[in-house]
Structure 1
Amino acid sequence: MSDLPAAAKVVVIGGGIVGCSTAYHLARMGVEVVLLERKKLTSGTTFHAAGLVGQLRTSANVTQLLGYSVELYKRLESETGQATGWKMNGGLRLACNQERWTEVKRQATTAHSFGLDMQLLTPKEAQDLWPLMDVGDVVGAAFLPTDGQANPSDITLSLAKGARMAGAKIFEDTKVLSIDIRDGVIRGVIVEGGRIDCEKVVVCAGMWTRPFCAAHGVNVPLVPVEHQYIVTERIEGVTPTLPTLRDPDRLTYWKEEVGGLVMGGYEPNPKLWRDGSLPPGFHFTLLDNDFDHFTPMMEQALGRVPAMQTAGIKQMINGPESFTPDGMFILGEAPEQRNLFVGAGFNAFGIASGGGAGMCLAEWVAKGEAPFDLWPADIRRFGRPHFDSDWIRKRTYEAYGKHYSMAWPGEEHQSGRPCRKSPLYETLKADGAVFGEKLGWERPNWFADLAAGEEPRDVYTYGRPNWHAAVGREHRACREGVVIFDQTSFAKFALKGPDAERALSWICANDVARPVGSLTYTQMLNDRGGIEADLTVARRAPDEFYIVTGTGFATHDFDWIKRNIPAGANAQLFDITSANSVLSLMGPRSREVLQAVTRADVSNAAFPFGTARTIGIAGCPVLALRVTYVGELGYELHFPVEYATAVYAALREAGAPFGIRNAGYRAIESLRLEKGYRAWGSDIGPDHTPDEAGLGWAVKLKRDIPFKGREAVAAQRAQGVKKRMATFTADPGVILHGRETIYRDGRRVGWLSSGGFGFTLNRSIGMGYVRNPEGVTADYVLSGRYELEVATERVPAEVTLAPLYDAGMERIKA
């Protein structure tokens, strides 16, 4: 302990692959960093990892992160002189039925979108690469040549050596007891027998991360799950160049190891390890093998690789791995505590992620932001349900069981439901609502026609799903008449205080310094001009603003606003999501229905587009926002939850003569695609600027008002953009889900960020960025001939920069 430094800029806690990678990258950036490991490097989870390194994910940026791992591992051994066991033998993925083959073909298109060379193979071609397998039931396979495998302990020790070479200090057998936090500021870490002063802490402690961070008020939703695999003795025909193999229909994976095979998998009935508490002294420790639990997977494996029937078993390994409720790892600065960063919950692909995750964490720590948008892995994607260990365990159990199951479009989780409910939940359920879930909220996705015998449940497919016709009914009702959407799950904040206007004017790209009653659609930007939030702001008083954002962005957007309130500004932010219900009344007849339930004048003259008014409905004070996300005349009605049933009943009764009906979120998606409205998290995010997204009109550059990101937006406007959001349409028989590849004049220029169907147009619709390093203008976008790659086949597409559906604008603003 006497060798411990008195201080460091950053302390990394945890000596597994992610901690060592983070220290390696911080040190190479010139940051003074100390890594502390309670026992020995790799002794928690890393040492018993299987070591497969795959790259493809549904997110372009997570795929980029994994691709960085590959590039790092390729050079690391020569850089440090420490062996890594890295081999880029490629990776095979099998499909053994037609639905899985469709999934694999769509994965291949996603790979092409992201610049990966995924090749589709016949069963015979796959067998040529992996001769030991029986391909009698194989329909086809995909091969990614740049996938590989590594020795987890060796590659971690190589990263640790590289970190030391760059100046990092690493201490084993040094247990961190706590973080010294005073007045909300990190002062240092307390270790057994000493302390180290520091400004920032990065917790990469694997399954210890949740309890350690919880002791400091930070929530990290992860669960240790038992994960078993076997290592065989040498098998004739197993060569060092054998690719990794994944057989999701048999729930199994393989890799070569010293002439034998490693075989493991993801059973549908996982075993959560313990109750979340961890035994003292647990390191370089494996769990008791559970042969009964492993037997079903072994039987599946023997059918695929008959040679295993006579192979000797060298070792059976059972070790706990950290899994998360959505199957994605956790990165970023904790919203509860400034300068406390987390890298944990790697769902058994920590070796594949380690290099890239460490790079991203290091950039985040050193520069205050991630190198690119990492929303799928961002710790701020979690919310209130994720504080409850029982809820997390239920959802993680389901997520683990789905690791190799079909990834159906539109699939919903079933565990831990219902959790958060609108007061109208039972009423809507009785009307045929089929609910989805987001951040614990039950939200109606679509409504079955119970009188006609429609069954209110989702049936998943890669074709047109069973809800397609129902969504079409709701879509047309919104375009032609009037519908109600229950959007109670919206995240809702109040910003109050004498300096509320000054604070929000700095954070928002659009002008919110407008009169009381004004409603402003705005983005919030980072210093690169990227869109960190996309929301609506209503001014309720000189010192009060009401902010509405998407359900899933509650933690993220609250954190972004709070941390960017200027120092010294007297403005307080409150999360009031649970206080208010929201009913959105939308469609050309919506004004007539609204006028029938209130004495307030809701004519266009008295209540124009882009304003907010308090009106009375059924004895309830309702904050009505004249706004739309579906391209029709409409109103968002916000009011205290206790009035929900009364307000809803009044609207239904008044709307009966107009054929009013309930509608769900899948209709909202269809309607907004026709109108070209962007969705944060898919179409727009921190890597996209307003000008690139076609939202430059919502930026107050013409006003002499400073705001975060202004200089970046102004510079880009002077130089022009290199990518631009466009909308594409294709034949109605083409099914678009997003991530389909965009080709312009035969050259790959991007991929779809969103995909769906437009019922008014009877066309399939996708939105995505057209990219060109030399610049993208409107003429460039519109002058090309476009195709979309869908499940590896190219189909013709038409492009536009304008809304596909515009007939409603006269109604929206009149």
Structure 2
Amino acid sequence: MPHLPTHARAVIIGGGVIGCSVAYHLTKLGWKDVVLLERKQLTSGTTWHAAGLIAQLRATANMTKLAKYSQELYGALEAETGVATGFKRVGSITVALTGERMEELARSAGMARAFGVEIEEIGPDDIGRRYAHLNREDVVGGVYLPKDGQGDPGNIALALAKGARQRGAVIAERTKATGVTRTGRRITGVDWQAEDSSQGHIACEHVINCAGMWGREVGAMLGTDVPLHACEHFYIVSEPIAGLSELPVLRVPDECAYYKEDAGKILLGAFEPVSKPWGMQGIPDSFEFDQLPEDFDHFEPILEQAVNRLPMLAEAGIHTFFNGPESFTPDDAYHLGLCPGMDNVWVAAGFNSVGIQSAGGAGMALADWMGSGEKPFDLGDVDIARMAPVQNNRHYLFERSKETLGLLYADHFPFRQKATARGIRRTPFHAHLAAEGAVFGELAGWERANWFARDGQARDYEYSWKRQNFFDNVADEVAAVRSSVGMYDMTSFGKLRVEGPDAEAFLNHVCGNDMSVPAGRIVYTQFLNARGGIEADVTVTRLSETAYLVVTPAASRLADETWLRRHQGENRATITDMTAAEGVLAVMGPNARTLLQSVSPNDFSNAINPFGTAQEIEIGLGLARAHRVSYVGELGWELYVSSDMAAHVFETLRAAGADHGLKLCGMHMMDCARIEKAFRHFGHDITCEDHVLEAGLGFAVKSAKPAFIGRDAVLRKKEAGLDRRLLQFRLTDPEPLLYHNEPILRDGKIVGYLSSGAYGHHLGGAIGLGYVPCAGESAAEVKASRYEIDVAGQRVPAEVSLRPMYDPGNDRMRA
């Protein structure tokens, strides 16, 4: 064991491919005093038995960027370190056995083109030419990615470790992190003990949890939540097959299977629909290069289909039946970044069977983030701050992990809901909504009414890439909000109370807009980073001289609270999560005022309650706070009601609504209505790498006020001009549907992709938002071009606008 220092800038816990990559990239940035502690031997947890598939295309542009970086890195590591990584670009083929799967692949091909990934859509004959062993009788088509590859997982990790050592990192095997010392929100040191019984303490500035399937337990030791659970993952390796030459990686997701040729053998792996969680009582301390017991009965259905798909497997014996654990997260995205609750604890864990192809990019991104103090680009898909605390519950993780492994190869339909670990967080209106036909979705553990079934209609999703079974229901809900009045539950949105003598100064430092407003005013604003990018998109209501309510999207509540806490400084203010304390009903539409006036003695006129103000009201026999704002572009109010009176207020409005055309609505309606109004969706249309001015939100930034985070970047952008603009698109053909990531073509050339998409039921076509380069161009020049959107390979003409296509003058909201 190497001599361990008593101080390090960074201590990495875990010596799999992820920990080795983080060490490699930190030392590449010039961090000399980096220590990696591995409890047993490098790669001995999950890395050693990974299949080693290395794909380029991921679900988003930045995840694809990281995967492409991994490929390029692995191709160059051998020359740098002398360790052979086994990396070779053999290409990959994914085949579809159904029309729905083929549409998914066609849409992914369009996405790949937008992301700069080489891809080819191929038919059964083309597939046969590239993979002659495949039974193609029910193959519809597929896609071919020539630059995908495979590698040797263990040697990739060892090459990264050697590269880190060459630049000064200390890597200690058979040395376990046993405890930490902590001061406030910082870990100040890590205790270690080696197998030879030697022990010590390393004072440190940063700790990185790369402990893989031990990540949750290590996270708890470090004072953080890291929700993940190990599952059994199965594959077999055939006996050598005579004449078998190098083949592309083959994926048949409709049969939950992947195939890899390796040294004249075939490796067949599975992502079965119902998986087997493992390690519920903890992972044995002795675990090292261990295998789990065989379960042939569990794997047999996959093998039967595989023998039909690759008939040569029927003649080849099984050389190895392998079962090894891998860790999975609640949403099938890995965990990366600075952990909420702590200021120097980082994580890179839970890689959901894509650790090898992700490790290089994830290590690079995390090291960059640690070095600069800011995310290098949008990492919202994997930022650990996306996880709600309840998602770290052991039983929740056990139940959810049964599903998440299989979801890797399931049809990735739009709006697909998780089926496991449901019903945890329910709003005060849940039972009322369920009684009236609500079909619920889940977000951050919250059950949310997404749409309402009609009498006699099944209360289930019937998934498709075309119009799903709720399409007409949502059209009716949008029509109600546009022409009458609709009501929907917004309780799940985050509510953070910021209170104290310095609350105004603190929020003025964090927010781009001006918080020095009278009590009762509502301010729409963003939290900006130093580059002018958008870290949060919120409304802030001043409740009193010393108290504000920050309302955040449900998915980013913890991230937004974490951002506030990290930038609080010496300001005297408390931050309290009030999300569950109040139920919220949004009452929206031209009849909203008359409905509210029928159940409340308060005055809802423009004179007393203009747009952007809040007032305390009586409603029925109870009390509420009425916020006059709208995310659907209509006259309306969000009613904040303490949880004890929430049911009464719902019943009061529902009863009175019969005389005003009130219709219950869901989250799908809200998304369709907001995109018609070109309201931005945080995490899609606006992220930390989207400049607030280029996002078209300059009206919400008051650069004349004293210094705030991002002010200099706003002023620089005003001076330099915009490099791109966020545009709204409407397909002229009313039939195709948009979701997001569809390529944008300007005068026949791909210039970007849609950041979000939904159907504009009022506008009569699918609507998308997306950024288009515009350096040196006027708005008129940008609009003058011919635009098309690539929908599953079909170019569909689109109208374009810089102003909202629906009610551009905001007359309806301010009526």
Same fold (TM over 0.5): yes
The 1:60–1:224 alpha-carbon spacing in structure 2 relative to 1, beyond 3 Å, is: same
For residue 741 of structure 1, the aligned residue among 721, 740, 743 is 743
Supply the distance in 2 between the matched residues of 1:184 and 1:605 (Cα, whole angstroms): 47
Matched, 1:213 2:214: no
**1:85-143 Cα shifts (integer Å, max 9, x gaps):** 00011111001111111111111111112111110111111121112211111111101
The 1:454–1:776 alpha-carbon spacing in structure 2 relative to 1, beyond 3 Å, is: farther
**1:124-180 Cα shifts (integer Å, max 9, x gaps):** 111211122111111111011111001001111111111112221211111110122
Supply the distance in 2 between the matched residues of 1:384 and 1:14 (Cα, whole angstroms): 23
Supply the distance in 1 between the matched residues of 2:242 and 2:406 (Cα, whole angstroms): 33
Which letter maps to 1:683? D
Between 381-390 and 83-92, the greater mean CA deviation after superposition: 381-390
Supply the distance in 1 between the matched residues of 2:618 and 2:750 (Cα, whole angstroms): 54
Matched, 1:322 2:327: yes
The 1:378–1:62 alpha-carbon spacing in structure 2 relative to 1, beyond 3 Å, is: same
SS at match of 1:341: strand
Supply the distance in 1 between the matched residues of 2:767 and 2:281 (Cα, whole angstroms): 45
Matched, 1:753 2:755: yes
Between 246-255 and 763-772, the greater mean CA deviation after superposition: 763-772
1:17-166 equivalences under 5 Å are 17-31=17-31, 32-166=33-167
- Tell me which residue corresponds to 1:458: 461
1:573-588 equivalences under 5 Å are 573-588=575-590
SS at match of 1:478: helix
For residue 678 of structure 1, the aligned residue among 680, 693, 706 is 680
- Tell me which residue corresponds to 2:494: 491
- Tell me which residue corresponds to 1:239: 245
Supply the distance in 2 between the matched residues of 1:415 and 1:39 (Cα, whole angstroms): 34
Supply the distance in 2 between the matched residues of 1:663 and 1:183 (Cα, whole angstroms): 45
User: 1:454: how far off?
Assistant: 2.4
Supply the distance in 1 between the matched residues of 2:727 and 2:627 (Cα, whole angstroms): 28
User: 1:274: how far off?
Assistant: 2.7
SS at match of 1:789: strand
Query: Contact 2:52/2:152 (CA < 8 Å) preserved in 1?
Result: yes
SS at match of 2:286: coil
- Tell me which residue corresponds to 2:444: 439
1:607-622 equivalences under 5 Å are 607-622=609-624
- Tell me which residue corresponds to 1:3: 3
Supply the distance in 1 between the matched residues of 2:563 and 2:115 (Cα, whole angstroms): 29
After TM superposition, what 4+ stretches of structure 1 lie above 6 angstroms from structure 2? none
- Tell me which residue corresponds to 2:171: 170
- Tell me which residue corresponds to 1:384: 389
Between 651-660 and 253-262, the greater mean CA deviation after superposition: 651-660
**1:589-614 Cα shifts (integer Å, max 9, x gaps):** 11111112222211100111111111
- Tell me which residue corresponds to 2:696: 694
User: 1:213: how far off?
Assistant: 1.3
- Tell me which residue corresponds to 1:284: 289
User: 1:288: how far off?
Assistant: 1.6
Query: Contact 1:787/1:797 (CA < 8 Å) preserved in 2?
Result: yes
Matched, 1:302 2:307: yes
Query: Contact 2:2/2:171 (CA < 8 Å) preserved in 1?
Result: no
Provide structure 2 residue ranges, at least 5 long, that are not aligned to the other structure.
194-198
User: 1:370: how far off?
Assistant: 2.1
Matched, 1:351 2:353: no
Matched, 1:195 2:204: no
Which letter maps to 2:517? R
SS at match of 1:332: strand
Give the fraction of aligned pairs with identical amino acids, expressed as a percent: 45
Provide structure 1 residue ranges, at least 5 long, that are not aligned to the other structure.
none
User: 1:718: how far off?
Assistant: 1.0
User: 1:238: how far off?
Assistant: 2.3
User: 1:315: how far off?
Assistant: 1.8
- Tell me which residue corresponds to 2:671: 669
Supply the distance in 2 between the matched residues of 1:454 and 1:386 (Cα, whole angstroms): 32
- Tell me which residue corresponds to 1:341: 346
SS at match of 1:812: coil
User: 1:807: how far off?
Assistant: 7.2
Supply the distance in 2 between the matched residues of 1:699 and 1:687 (Cα, whole angstroms): 17
**1:275-322 Cα shifts (integer Å, max 9, x gaps):** 150101111111122111111111111111111111132222211000
SS at match of 1:89: coil
- Tell me which residue corresponds to 2:318: 313
For residue 562 of structure 2, the aligned residue among 559, 562, 573 is 559
The 1:237–1:98 alpha-carbon spacing in structure 2 relative to 1, beyond 3 Å, is: farther
Query: Contact 2:633/2:812 (CA < 8 Å) preserved in 1?
Result: no
User: 1:215: how far off?
Assistant: 2.7
Supply the distance in 2 between the matched residues of 1:804 and 1:332 (Cα, whole angstroms): 38
Supply the distance in 1 between the matched residues of 2:73 and 2:244 (Cα, whole angstroms): 27
- Tell me which residue corresponds to 1:545: 548
Between 225-234 and 629-638, the greater mean CA deviation after superposition: 225-234
Q: TM-score, normalised by structure 1?
A: 0.98
Which letter maps to 2:494? A
- Tell me which residue corresponds to 1:603: 605
Between 710-719 and 18-27, the greater mean CA deviation after superposition: 710-719
Query: Contact 1:723/1:776 (CA < 8 Å) preserved in 2?
Result: no
Query: Contact 1:330/1:377 (CA < 8 Å) preserved in 2?
Result: yes
SS at match of 2:694: helix
Supply the distance in 1 between the matched residues of 2:804 and 2:595 (Cα, whole angstroms): 27
- Tell me which residue corresponds to 2:516: 513
The 1:738–1:588 alpha-carbon spacing in structure 2 relative to 1, beyond 3 Å, is: same
User: 1:749: how far off?
Assistant: 0.6
Which letter maps to 1:13? I
SS at match of 1:108: helix
Which letter maps to 1:205? A
Which letter maps to 2:683? G
Supply the distance in 1 between the matched residues of 2:328 and 2:776 (Cα, whole angstroms): 42
- Tell me which residue corresponds to 1:449: 454
Supply the distance in 2 between the matched residues of 1:447 and 1:250 (Cα, whole angstroms): 33
The 1:228–1:776 alpha-carbon spacing in structure 2 relative to 1, beyond 3 Å, is: farther
Which letter maps to 2:217? P
**1:600-646 Cα shifts (integer Å, max 9, x gaps):** 21110011111111111123331111100101101011010111111
Which letter maps to 1:335? P
- Tell me which residue corresponds to 2:196: none
Supply the distance in 2 between the matched residues of 1:320 and 1:276 (Cα, whole angstroms): 14
For residue 482 of structure 2, the aligned residue among 465, 475, 479 is 479
User: 1:50: how far off?
Assistant: 0.6
Supply the distance in 2 between the matched residues of 1:480 and 1:605 (Cα, whole angstroms): 23
**1:30-68 Cα shifts (integer Å, max 9, x gaps):** 013111111111111100111001122221111111111
**1:670-725 Cα shifts (integer Å, max 9, x gaps):** 11111000000111110101111111111001x23211011111111211222211
Matched, 1:400 2:372: no
The 1:351–1:276 alpha-carbon spacing in structure 2 relative to 1, beyond 3 Å, is: farther
Aligned residues: 808
User: What RMSD over aligned residues (CA atoms) do the two structures have, in Å?
Assistant: 1.3
